[in-house]
Chains A and B, each alone.
Chain A
């Protein structure tokens, strides 16, 4: 997992969400693995998103003060 690649993480998360939607019979073990993977991806993506938001605010402030 590349914690900096938000787009790739989102793509994976969508795949997991689709997987859950398509399951008639939930395999508990596999489902659990998917949940674990999704939780890690969500945490990393939220951290990355926060960093991006902070950088964006800095850039915005610099430009507005020019």
Chain B
């Protein structure tokens, strides 16, 4: 905003312009909570001051945001707030409007972690009997993590080539703002058709992992319609989301291996079964080869005998025809005599002076019986 030095502004005009400028000055501030009280509409009004007491700021966090971060503001608590200042025109009061709040200092973090863990444990949210098994042969996988960094690559490089259909939602996984992203991503995945939900990130300090100790997030994970597998690297204190998930692995790579495991096993079983079937085929072939050979020889030999039999019959008939061939007899010098149209076989078949017809090889001879004499 450029201030027109010649113009005279109304208070409202000036505060409005000032607030526009202030909105652009986002900052992260650390301080100790002084007074803290909820307004009638649920918004939280509190003060933040330096530990040495030198400076103080009035702060506001709206009801929706306040419920998101799971921190109950109490006097003496040390927090980091992110946001910008604003002047409330009716009162002229300057306040810091918090976009996010997070606990500062290991002590505070540990205290809040322990309290929440105890509370959720009591509710049974971490009970082993409520855990759902990770589905075997899961194919449609929802993945929530940051697209920046090695985590997503580690996961994809290790999950194997089994035709997975992976849906990915980019989310911040560190800092107070991560809670909002993670919750939104989970809500999106509720409507998606997936077999399993995966939430992964690399290791970090308790402070950086605080989004995964968020109560709302824990409840979303427990109530998620399909099994949730998390792979969040951690040190001593296990993030509460890990305790709430159906299965928790130490790294994103381990999650990838877990999801590929059933497929790997199936591949192994398939290879083994293929081998068994091949061997069985060889065994069956060997078993029946002998029988097959015997049958084949029987068929061949029978048919060969049939052919040999036919050949022998043909030769026999051939000889018979040759023997019976009248031409052959005539050629050899024999003749056929007929008298009165009948074949002459004995002396008594003719009488002297009777006509006689002789059939010889090349024609007929007509003659007469001169005399007859029995031999």
Check A13–B317 contact: CB distance below 8 A.
yes
Is B20 at the interface (CB under 8 A from chain A)?
no
Check A56–B303 contact: CB distance below 8 A.
yes
**Contact string against B for A residues 1-36, beta-carbon threshold 8 Å, 1 for contact and 0 otherwise:** 000001000100110110010000110100110110
- What's the least CB distance linking B361 to chain A, in Å? 11
Q: Which of B313, B317, B325 contacts A31 (CB 8 A)?
A: B325
Residues of A within 8 Å of B373, CB to CB, are none
- What's the least CB distance linking B128 to chain A, in Å? 62
Q: Which of A6, A34, A60 contacts B310 (CB 8 A)?
A: A6
**Contact string against A for B residues 302-314, beta-carbon threshold 8 Å, 1 for contact and 0 otherwise:** 0110010011011
Cα separation A42 to B316 with both chains bound (whole Å): 10
Judged by DSSP, the binding face of B is helix
CB within 8 Å for A28 and B313 given contacts A42-B321, A53-B307, A63-B296: no
The closest CB in chain A to the CB of B296 belongs to: A63
Please provide the chain B residues from 317 to 340 with a CB less than 8 Å away from any CB of chain A in the complex. 317-318, 320-321, 324-327, 330, 336
Residues of A within 8 Å of B326, CB to CB, are 26, 28, 31-32, 35
CB within 8 Å for A56 and B310 given contacts A17-B320, A38-B317, A42-B318: no
Cα separation A14 to B313 with both chains bound (whole Å): 9
Residues of A within 8 Å of B320, CB to CB, are 17, 20
Is B14 at the interface (CB under 8 A from chain A)?
no
Residues of A within 8 Å of B314, CB to CB, are 10, 13, 42, 45-46, 49
Cα separation A41 to B359 with both chains bound (whole Å): 28
Is B343 at the interface (CB under 8 A from chain A)?
yes
Cα separation A39 to B327 with both chains bound (whole Å): 14
Residues of A within 8 Å of B343, CB to CB, are 25
CB within 8 Å for A10 and B310 given contacts A28-B326, A32-B326, A60-B300: yes
Check B324–A35 contact: CB distance below 8 A.
yes
Q: Which of B296, B300, B317, B325 contacts A17 (CB 8 A)?
A: B317
The closest CB in chain B to the CB of A45 belongs to: B314
Q: Which of A6, A25, A42, A63 contacts B317 (CB 8 A)?
A: A42
Check A56–B304 contact: CB distance below 8 A.
yes
Cα separation A21 to B325 with both chains bound (whole Å): 12
Cα separation A33 to B295 with both chains bound (whole Å): 46
Check A28–B359 contact: CB distance below 8 A.
yes
Cα separation A60 to B304 with both chains bound (whole Å): 11
Residues of A within 8 Å of B296, CB to CB, are 63
Residues of A within 8 Å of B317, CB to CB, are 13-14, 16-17, 38, 42
**Contact string against B for A residues 51-63, beta-carbon threshold 8 Å, 1 for contact and 0 otherwise:** 0110010001001
Cα separation A63 to B313 with both chains bound (whole Å): 29
- What's the least CB distance linking A7 to chain B, in Å? 9
Besides A13-B314, A46-B311, 4 other CB < 8 A contacts?
A: A26-B336, A35-B325, A38-B317, A49-B311
25 example contacts (A-B, Cβ-Cβ < 8 A) are as follows A6-B310, A10-B313, A13-B314, A16-B321, A17-B320, A17-B321, A25-B343, A26-B326, A26-B336, A28-B326, A28-B336, A28-B359, A32-B327, A34-B321, A35-B321, A35-B326, A38-B321, A39-B321, A42-B318, A46-B314, A49-B310, A53-B307, A56-B303, A56-B304, A63-B296
Residues of B within 8 A of A (CB): 296, 300, 303-304, 307, 310-311, 313-314, 317-318, 320-321, 324-327, 330, 336, 343, 359
Residues of A within 8 A of B (CB): 6, 10, 13-14, 16-17, 20, 25-26, 28, 31-32, 34-35, 38-39, 42, 45-46, 49, 52-53, 56, 60, 63
